[in-house]
Structure 1
Amino acid sequence: MSGSPQPQTPATPLVESPERTNTRRVIAWGLWDWGSASFNAVVTTFVFTVYLTTADGFGGETFVSQWLAWTLSAAGLVIAVLAPVTGQRSDTSGRRKFWLGVNTALVVLATALLFFVAPEASLLPLGLLLLGAGNIFFEFAGVNYNAMLSQVATPRTIGRVSGFGWGMGYLGGIVLLLVVYFGFISPDVGLFGVTGDEGMDVRVSMLVSAVWFGLFALPVFFAVPEYSGRGARRPRVGIVASYRRLGASIARLWRTDRPLLGFLAASAVFRDGLAGVFTFGGVLAAGSFGFSPGEVIIFAIVANVVAGISTITVGLLDDRLGARPVIITALIGLVVAGVAIFVFHDGGQGVFWLFGLILCLFVGPAQSASRSYLARIIPAGEEGEIFGLYATTGRAVSFLAPLAFGIFITIGGAQYWGILGIVSVLAIGLVLLLLVRPARTPADGATAPRR
């Protein structure tokens, strides 16, 4: 994947970054991540999807789980096809912040409308439609949000800024989970007299989540100026021409910058393994280690604390040592901790608490450093398009962790064998990353050359 060495041209910045880091803009940018945790943690992971699959009235756990999987797969296909072009068009239109706002508003709207999904079979299609649409718009928003990283950080601070944003997402998830769990879901009668009748505790939590995201997303639109860099000065083209331009960009990268394409491929694999850690973490905690639903949420809260603190802290090392060593170290740590959970699974909940939290020490840094590494090596003016490809490559292999999880359970005949499936995906991603020739970045002591 590394390709043959390319002749180097005089060093010029790959990203159009500010001369110094503006703390106000960084905080405003990070607050979007803090607010977006409402969709990641509450809607898609720990609350609404669990409500769909477990509440009486929707059609049963197996039936709903199948339709949930089909819905999210369809949403993933839409994202894979459209993300690079939507990112490219936000680059060339000079309206990156505008499209971040539009897609964020659509996610907030979809989340709020989940309030109307009462536990009735006739409302299941509405819930699935809103969930799928929310995933699509959330990913489109994320493409523009990630592309803005080079607007709020200098090449020398991009690691710590990325880590700060990702860490804010984890910490925001903790606070909101505490609010909805202890405010509405756990008590027999929650805040404002809300009970679990007709799923009202979960449905009100969706309204709270929508307001949460909407409020914390606002600062970035006031503090960070609209993108006006090199990409915004390229001529705008139609949809069909956008795909032609995308094809030409990929062909050019294949000829001149295979390390970037190689990193996209490797990161797609290990990021799917990272997603598998969270997707199946709660399932394993409950099924193989005997956690109650309440204990799963408590573990999730502690796990997010650990992941948030480690991500913010390791972001400083990212700038000092470079993102690549951080990613490699984190993936090795994840593989070792995952194997330990498998080997010592008979030790019960204590084993899962210990090694599960060790996993969380490495998950966030791997995700954040992957984003900062890519931001450092993207040619100026192509951030939206390349981060769109980043989303697309991730979606293209999003079946790997679930497939490996299922295969290893079939091989071993017990749920805990699925841990090895997730570990195998992480290990493959690590090997692929090691095969990619490193690109020189500002953290290496020199600005990466344009190829």
Structure 2
Amino acid sequence: MTKNASDGSPDTAAPALSEAPAKISPKRVLAWGLWDWGSAAFNAVVTTFVFTVYLTSDAFGEEAVVSAQLGWALATAGVLVLLFAPVTGQRSDSAGRRKLWLGVNTYIVVALTACMFFVAPSPDFLWLGLLLVAAGNVFFEFANVNYNAMLAQVSTPKTIGRVSGIGWGLGYLGGIVLLLIVYFGLIQPEVGIFGITDENGMDVRATVLVSAIWFGLFALPVLLAVPEYEGVGARRTKVGFFASYRRLFQDIRKLWRESRQTVYFLFASAVFRDGLAGVFTFGGVLAAGWFGFSQGEVIIFAIAANVVAGISTITVGLLDDRLGPKPVIMASLIGLVATGLLIFFLHDGGKLTFWIFGLALTLFVGPAQSASRSFLARLIPAGREGEVFGLYATTGRAVSFLAPAAFALFITVGGEQYWGILGIVLVIFIGLLLLIPVHAKQQQLR
């Protein structure tokens, strides 16, 4: 990649896509996107709506204490991702084993999810549940590094935004289908399928087994249909573990010299992506705590939110290729800030307010996430996708305290839970300001 003499910004389009196929293969795109569909088993069931809720219930101890322990476990997982994600990506690039490590890390997550079945509702099993969730998060992030790096292998420079949107959209839609299956088949009825009840936590424990099978099955197509990486960075040289860190720091310095805008974007996106995560993380908390949703209503809202987010993400992916990813991200972040402020000022409007404006929020979250991935894929120098997407995961983890801290701070200052909305809005707004000066000029291929 060449650079602008004045600021280090790229003046050509996406050398990272030099490994891209001459034309898009619908079969490979679908196979790649089905990994996102399957990964909803971990995102939606394990870390968001089912298993972590089960793990922080009074069956495992005092709620506040157990929740804090979960937080520390996930924080530890974040530190491990921070330390190891860039190197795992770099090593898979240099060894030409991107798909191999996607498969290894994916099925470690599948195995860890299945092991959650053995977490019985007792304080004696809390440590096991925390260990499995934390380890699952680490290996899930490692898998994501290689999965995101494969985006350039299944898209062309003209379709990368569309393909990224398809992946994110399938992830949301997969979450919807799986949540409907486990909610109506296992969790909501007094006696679910196969006679399963909530006795001894069996409804949740069966749910994680279903989720493990779901992820394991839908991860297979990408491993079977997309060939192993053979691009510019596939040096196929063995490098020692500690030598990998030396190479990483050398590569970061080189990245700063060759593609300074990539570094700027990694920093800006880390901030606004944490705000995006906060929308989903604390959306359910606000729905139940301030707007009066029952547990069942929260899950129904979550399903509706995933429908809206999935459809908007796939649709806006077309605009990504036509207009470029930066306008999509900017418009999405502006929409999130405006909608968040409306929820804050209309906080006394009850459930209807949250249904209307909460769903409006989800219109913007998915497109911002998808366009962020395609933006970065267009900037990365050829052969360094795994390494840079590893940095993408790392920078996100490095500031993952921002949205939770801002949420808590504003509640403390305002004295009411709904003030936390302003904390999330502030993080998104700061990310928007940091994104504005990032150059996104791309050569248009016709």
Q: Taking structure 1 as the reference length, what is the TM-score of the superposition?
A: 0.96
Task: Kindly report which structure 2 residues correspond to 1:113-152, keeping only aligned pairs within 5 A, or say none.
Answer: 113-152=115-154
Aligned partner of 1:43 among 41, 46, 54: 46
Task: Kindly report which structure 2 residues correspond to 1:211-222, keeping only aligned pairs within 5 A, or say none.
Answer: 211-222=213-224
Q: How big is each residue's C-alpha offset from its partner over 1:143-202, in whole Å with a ceiling of 9 and x where there is no partner?
A: 000000000000100000000000000000000000010000000000000000111000
Structure 1 letter corresponding to 2:323: L
SS at match of 2:408: helix
Counterpart in the other structure of 1:289 = 291
CA contact (8 A) 2:34 2:219 kept: yes
SS at match of 2:22: coil
Cα-Cα RMSD: 1.5
CA contact (8 A) 1:164 1:311 kept: yes
- Is the counterpart of residue 183 in structure 1 residue 160 in structure 2? no
Counterpart in the other structure of 1:343 = 345
Counterpart in the other structure of 2:56 = 53
Structure 2 letter corresponding to 1:400: L
Change (3 A) 1:188 1:407: same
- Paired with 2:272 and 2:5, the residues of 1 have a C-alpha distance of 21
Structure 2 letter corresponding to 1:64: V
Q: How big is each residue's C-alpha offset from its partner over 1:38-97, in whole Å with a ceiling of 9 and x where there is no partner?
A: 00000000000001112x331121111010000000000000110000000000111100
- Paired with 1:7 and 1:302, the residues of 2 have a C-alpha distance of 40
CA contact (8 A) 2:12 2:442 kept: no
Change (3 A) 1:9 1:63: closer
Task: Kindly report which structure 2 residues correspond to 1:217-296, keeping only aligned pairs within 5 A, or say none.
Answer: 217-233=219-235, 235-296=237-298
Counterpart in the other structure of 1:440 = 441
SS at match of 2:91: helix
Aligned length: 442
- Paired with 2:48 and 2:405, the residues of 1 have a C-alpha distance of 19
Structure 1 letter corresponding to 2:120: A
Counterpart in the other structure of 1:77 = 79
Counterpart in the other structure of 2:401 = 399
CA contact (8 A) 2:406 2:420 kept: yes
CA contact (8 A) 1:323 1:372 kept: yes
Alpha-carbon offset, residue 253 of structure 1? 2.1
- Paired with 2:325 and 2:11, the residues of 1 have a C-alpha distance of 23
Counterpart in the other structure of 2:310 = 308
Q: How big is each residue's C-alpha offset from its partner over 1:256-291, in whole Å with a ceiling of 9 and x where there is no partner?
A: 322110000000000000000000000000000000
Structure 2 letter corresponding to 1:21: I
- Paired with 1:63 and 1:363, the residues of 2 have a C-alpha distance of 31
Q: How big is each residue's C-alpha offset from its partner over 1:379-414, in whole Å with a ceiling of 9 and x where there is no partner?
A: 110000000000000000000000000000001000
Aligned partner of 1:23 among 23, 26, 38: 26
- Paired with 1:380 and 1:7, the residues of 2 have a C-alpha distance of 15
Alpha-carbon offset, residue 446 of structure 1? 5.0
SS at match of 1:230: coil
SS at match of 2:412: helix
- Paired with 2:113 and 2:420, the residues of 1 have a C-alpha distance of 31
Aligned partner of 1:170 among 166, 169, 172: 172
Alpha-carbon offset, residue 237 of structure 1? 1.4
CA contact (8 A) 2:340 2:422 kept: yes
- Paired with 1:90 and 1:32, the residues of 2 have a C-alpha distance of 18
Alpha-carbon offset, residue 441 of structure 1? 2.4
Aligned partner of 1:320 among 316, 319, 322: 322
- Paired with 1:156 and 1:8, the residues of 2 have a C-alpha distance of 18
Change (3 A) 1:66 1:3: farther
Change (3 A) 1:197 1:164: same
Change (3 A) 1:273 1:6: closer
Counterpart in the other structure of 1:413 = 415
Query: Equivalent pairs: percent with the same residue?
Result: 69
SS at match of 1:183: helix
- Is the counterpart of residue 34 in structure 1 residue 37 in structure 2? yes
Alpha-carbon offset, residue 370 of structure 1? 0.1
- Paired with 1:143 and 1:224, the residues of 2 have a C-alpha distance of 16
Counterpart in the other structure of 1:66 = 68
Change (3 A) 1:252 1:34: same
Q: Taking structure 2 as the reference length, what is the TM-score of the superposition?
A: 0.97
- Paired with 2:308 and 2:11, the residues of 1 have a C-alpha distance of 43
Gap runs ≥5 in structure 2: none
Task: Kindly report which structure 2 residues correspond to 1:205-216, keeping only aligned pairs within 5 A, or say none.
Answer: 205-216=207-218
Aligned partner of 2:356 among 350, 354, 357: 354
Alpha-carbon offset, residue 11 of structure 1? 7.0
Counterpart in the other structure of 1:204 = 206
SS at match of 1:268: helix
CA contact (8 A) 2:90 2:390 kept: yes
- Paired with 1:256 and 1:94, the residues of 2 have a C-alpha distance of 23
Alpha-carbon offset, residue 4 of structure 1? 3.4
CA contact (8 A) 1:34 1:170 kept: yes
Alpha-carbon offset, residue 250 of structure 1? 1.2
Structure 1 letter corresponding to 2:346: F
Most deviating of 10-19 and 305-314: 10-19
Most deviating of 244-253 and 187-196: 244-253
Counterpart in the other structure of 2:375 = 373
Change (3 A) 1:302 1:3: farther
- Paired with 1:186 and 1:148, the residues of 2 have a C-alpha distance of 38
CA contact (8 A) 1:3 1:258 kept: no
SS at match of 2:71: helix
